[in-house]
Amino acid sequence: MTVRVICDFDGTIAEKDMIAAIMRRFVPVQAEPIIQAVQTGEKAIRDGVEEMFRLIPSDRYDDVVEFATENTVVRPGFPEFIHRCGQLGWKVAVVSGGFDFFVHPVIHSLSTPVDIFCNRIDSSGPFLRVVWAVSCDDVCEGGCGLCKPSVMRQLKDDEATRFIVIGDGVTDFKAAREGDYVFARARLLELVRDQDLPASPFDTFYDIEREIADGGSPLYENI
Ligand SMILES: [Zn+2]
């Protein structure tokens, strides 16, 4: 059996949602209704994120990168959690709807190898343009932006692969439904509880580690 951990970045590894923070810093008035529409599910994530980046002129790209780098706060226990996964032989993939310029610095500071799936920005035109790393496959209903269930299907070694999904928001829900066990906080916790998916809440990565160390955890009935 292979255990794979699919871990979101924004609001999960990083304490805050960096895309929303960037928009609130650079284009607050125009972005707010788009942020709301994505969060309520009225607007597809893909469309919302593309629209918001198109509001920012490319000559501000360096400022955006600097703002994101300075404002990324990592949730406590993350390096220790990744180290623990390495000891257990669990393969971790950070699967983020966010961008290389704020995801890579955090992940590359770890000593354990981790796969990264995230997007990048094309700043060659007059306004910023999102380049999605993984689009929806035929099985997905579409609209994801970076399609987390598609990544999981790519990573599925065989029928014995078990997925632990860690996340916080609406963008993690499709992945959570495909997973065997979920660690959830914030909006994702409400969504997985509504659907009775096997899940535990977490606040820091120490909470997840504690549960991994507990042989009686429902985690082990599901993976
Ligand atoms: Zn999709």
> Taking the domains of the chain in order of start, what are their residue ranges?
2-16+72-222
Q: What is the pLDDT of residue 217?
A: 95
The Cβ of residue 215 has, within 10 Å, a number of other Cβ atoms equal to: 7
Cα(168) to centroid of ligand 1, in Å? 17
Residue ranges for the chain with pLDDT beneath 50: none
Closest CA to 128 of 63, 73, 44: 63
Cβ-in-10-Å burial (0-12, 13-18, 19+) of 9 comes to buried
Give the residue ranges of DSSP H helices in 72-185.
78-88, 100-108, 148-155, 173-178
Q: What is the pLDDT of residue 39?
A: 85
Cα(136) to centroid of ligand 1, in Å? 4
Q: Which residues surround ligand 1, an ion (CB under 5 A)?
A: 136, 140, 144, 147
Cβ-in-10-Å burial (0-12, 13-18, 19+) of 24 comes to middle
Cα(175) to centroid of ligand 1, in Å? 9
Cα(132) to centroid of ligand 1, in Å? 11
> SS3 for 204?
coil
Cα(204) to centroid of ligand 1, in Å? 27
At 62-82, the pLDDT tens digits run 999 999 999 999 999 999 999
Q: What is the pLDDT of residue 157?
A: 87
CATH of domain 2-16+72-222: 3.40.50.1000
